[in-house]
Amino acid sequence: MDQRSDIIVIGAALNGLAAALALGGRRVRRPLDVTLVDARDPRGFASNAFDGRATAISATARRMFEALGVWDKVSHEAEPMAEIIVTDSATPGEARPVLLHFGPEDMAGGPTAHMIENRFLYAAMLAEAEQSPHIRFAVGQPVEGFHFAPGLAAVTLAGGAELRAELIAAADGRNSPAREAAGIKLVGWPYDQMGLVATVAHELPHRGRAEEHFTPSGPFAILPLPGNRSSLVWSERTEDARRMLELPLPAFEEELRLRFGPHLGAVKLVSGRHGYPLAMYVADRFTGPRLALVGDAAHVLHPLAGLGFNLGLRDVAALADCVHDAAALGLDLGSETVLSRYASWRRFDTVTTAAAMDGMNRLFANTNPALTLLRRAGLMAVNRMGGLKAVFASQAAGQSGGLPRLLRGETA
């Protein structure tokens, strides 16, 4: 199979599927021909055992999914966040004073975010992509060769097929082989922390409340899912996280009870336990010749504010604007003009968001008594200032900065 398309998207996970839909989906008025490549078959991604994660989808990301024909397939699986609380405590069992509270009064334009399990998002995006006549799948074999030339980009699949296009959008994850092949370096560091992810059923309703409990070993988040269930994202020092992953179930549930406290009643694990090594990395360039990096290929964040995929969607939406605008003018889709517009649009937002997440993780992990006092006083002050809280809420909803069309709910 040797074939040519307008764009090759490498990676058919969350960001790659979103990129394929944004460029060549059924809702796009002037769709481009997209070939979507993945080493694995994305149909396997819809199983809960694959990923175990749930994602907080911001208000603008939800608008993008509406525009792409994805949201109506998953909205019944999404839980709106009606309230968010943030606490800061030294030990898991300690009484946890609420330092920051976002209620309906702080979310003027509707809920800041919806929680949804990744398996439902994968399934809905894949179903939509499979129905587009402009998206071709080349899955089940890894890309083994990359060729970025001034005239054309090409990849070679493990089976020997060569695919050619004007532009490659690499959504091939944090170890991005495309980024490596283009010689793009990463700036950042691993944390000595793992994100422990699981789904928990509880006796009492959460009423849409999301909780983020900062502890010295990392944040412990309880995020509402439909029914009396919550998704747990528990950042713990790597050694302790590994121990938690291996604890017998009753002992693990006992640790959960200690950290949940009594307000949700009895808690029970209803999924497998997954562990993700945490890190902060940003690519030192977002583009190379005929190459644009999107999603985790370009940046990996601490998950404490649930922003990683939302940031990836902002990449996808910005790239779609740059590429569709070039196509409308009959320009080369992989030209330097298109790529430098994309890179300058995304770089500042990414670097500032990654630095803010890194700073928060360090600030809350610090046990120095003076700093703890200052941090708590600072949070309480923010809580009393309606204006500042509204700014934080609109940041979390993804509403700040210059928004590409898809994040405004429009397609090209």
**Sites of contact with ligand FAD (CB under 6 A):** 10-16, 37-40, 53, 55-56, 142-143, 171-173, 177, 195, 197, 233, 276, 295-296, 303, 306-310, 312
Q: Are the beta carbons of 268 and 163 closer than 8 angstroms?
A: no
Phi then psi dihedrals of residue 189, to 5 deg: -160, 155
If the CB atoms of residues 326 and 354 are measured against ligand FAD, the closer one turns out to be 354
Closest distance of CB 149 from ligand FAD, Å: 19
If the CB atoms of residues 233 and 292 are measured against ligand FAD, the closer one turns out to be 233
Closest distance of CB 334 from ligand FAD, Å: 19
Q: How far apart are alpha carbons 185 and 201 in whole angstroms?
A: 42
Closest distance of CB 385 from ligand FAD, Å: 26
Closest distance of CB 74 from ligand FAD, Å: 15
Closest distance of CB 179 from ligand FAD, Å: 10
Q: How far apart are alpha carbons 168 and 284 in whole angstroms?
A: 18
Q: How far apart are alpha carbons 367 and 314 in whole angstroms?
A: 35
If the CB atoms of residues 277 and 332 are measured against ligand FAD, the closer one turns out to be 277
If the CB atoms of residues 43 and 134 are measured against ligand FAD, the closer one turns out to be 43
The DSSP line for 129-156 is: HHT-TTEEEEESS-EEEEEE-SS-EEEE
If the CB atoms of residues 356 and 380 are measured against ligand FAD, the closer one turns out to be 356
Where does residue 124 rank: exposed (0-12), middle (13-18), buried (19+ CB within 10 A)? buried
Q: Are the beta carbons of 323 and 32 closer than 8 angstroms?
A: yes
Closest distance of CB 310 from ligand FAD, Å: 4
Closest distance of CB 234 from ligand FAD, Å: 9
If the CB atoms of residues 121 and 323 are measured against ligand FAD, the closer one turns out to be 121
If the CB atoms of residues 157 and 264 are measured against ligand FAD, the closer one turns out to be 157
Q: Which two tokens stand for residue 160?
A: 């020997």
Closest distance of CB 288 from ligand FAD, Å: 16
Q: How far is CA 78 from CA 58, 113, 120, 122, 210, in A?
A: 12, 10, 9, 13, 14
If the CB atoms of residues 226 and 378 are measured against ligand FAD, the closer one turns out to be 226
Closest distance of CB 187 from ligand FAD, Å: 17
Handedness of CA 53, 176, 319, 314 (dihedral sign): positive
Q: How far apart are alpha carbons 33 and 20 in whole angstroms?
A: 9
If the CB atoms of residues 87 and 176 are measured against ligand FAD, the closer one turns out to be 176
Q: How far apart are alpha carbons 397 and 191 in whole angstroms?
A: 26
If the CB atoms of residues 241 and 327 are measured against ligand FAD, the closer one turns out to be 241
The DSSP line for 166-235 is: EEEEE---TT-HHHHHTT--EEEEEEEEEEEEEEEEESS--TTEEEEEEETTEEEEEEEETTTEEEEEEE
Q: Which two tokens stand for residue 187?
A: 């700036």
Closest distance of CB 220 from ligand FAD, Å: 12
Q: Which two tokens stand for residue 7?
A: 């764009």
Closest distance of CB 371 from ligand FAD, Å: 26
Q: How far apart are alpha carbons 79 and 187 in whole angstroms?
A: 35
Q: Which two tokens stand for residue 178?
A: 């495309």
Q: Which two tokens stand for residue 242?
A: 């590994």
If the CB atoms of residues 20 and 323 are measured against ligand FAD, the closer one turns out to be 20
